[in-house]
A = this chain, B = another copy of it.
Amino acid sequence: MIKVGIVGGTGYTGVELLRLLAAHADVDVVAITSRAECGRRVDDLFPNLRGHYELAFSEPDVQLLAACDVVFFATPHNVAMNLVPELLAAGTRVIDLSADYRLRDADLWSRWYGESHASPELLAEAVYGLPEVNRQQIASARLVACPGCYPTSVQLGFMPLLARSLVDPKQLIASSASGVSGAGRQAKIDNLLSEASDSFKAYGVSGHRHLPEIEQGLSDIARQAVEVTFVPHLLPIVRGIHSTLFARLTDSNVDVQALYEDWYADEPFVDVLPPGVFPQTRTVKGANRCQISIAVPQQRNTVVVMATIDNLVKGASGQAVQNMNIMLGLDETAGLQQIGLLP
């Protein structure tokens, strides 16, 4: 059995890792850390786990974690970058769900996160964990930086068009919407049900931290610098991201439906919907899946791509498990066969 540790298990990506790993036959979660909840059983904090785990939260202890085969960081940014060097040195492989190793440029990271990076020497080694782009590098990586939730949906949505140079890379628009769980399990007035439910709003319009990650990833795919106008919105739901993407076609004769179907034909977790069927966040709720539709309204030269994921699964914990499977040479779909909860 593979021994797994989780740092920061009191947030939503932590409990989601536990839900997914309980269905994974090859894995044993041996440690889950939390300073604040040290000593408390995980199923006391998350009663959905009763009967599935006997585990209690423990202090974050490097030796304990170093004894694991893989350690997940399900923490806010600024935690992993301080602990990872020691874990790697001990031979433990690390899958970081936070933002600490997503950007290759330490200065860029500092500009967006407002502090200097604690282990910039690892940025070059860290592999960006979007399997549909970097599957091979992930397989041999010691340190994988899981993509953010918005960036996952935006990159999967734009990838075929940019890789084939079919759209203007300087005029990309991503109008995305996320459920509130994306903001984490933190006490903030803005995310109270009384504030966020029964409403819809844009936020972070002048600059969201996922923008540099999106532009880095799409530039890699396009093999040239791209520019994205990214407007995130807050949905009055718990789970789900829906990205509506717009681009200017440079070749109006391309069959975009066929392009996407071919591109993703062998991907286990990307599902291109039939023409005229549009994705809903509810059909991927709880599932490690990205559903995508493409349209060219009025046959003009603006292509519209719609991509949905569950921000806690394909946008975080599910993708993290997918990366673990690849790193460990397991079946990539192990533990990830859950069907979306509909209705």
Which residues does A use to contact B, with CB under 8 Å?
Answer: 12, 15, 19, 22-23, 44, 46-52, 171, 173, 175, 177, 179-181, 183, 185-189, 191-203, 205-207, 211, 227, 229-231, 233, 235-240, 242, 244, 246, 248, 271, 273-274, 276-287, 291, 293, 295, 297-298, 300, 302, 304, 306, 308, 312, 337-343
Contacts and interface: CB of A to CB of B under 8 A. Distances in A.
A203 B298 CA distance: 14
Contact of A48 (B171, B194, B298, B341): B341
Contacts of A231: 244, 297, 304
A146 B47 CA distance: 27
A342 B48 contact: yes
Given A199-B237, A242-B202, A12 B175 contact: no
A100 B69 CA distance: 54
B191 A194 contact: yes
Contact of A343 (B175, B181, B206, B338): B181
A338 B205 CA distance: 29
A3 to B, nearest CB: 21
A192 B197 contact: no
B194 A181 contact: yes
Nearest to A18: B339
Given A187-B187, A248-B171, A201 B242 contact: yes
A237 B279 CA distance: 18
B295 A206 contact: yes
A196 B238 CA distance: 10
Contact of A236 (B22, B206, B236, B342): B236
A282 B192 contact: no
A201 B295 contact: no
Contacts of A306: 201-202, 205
Given A48-B284, A297-B205, A197 B197 contact: yes
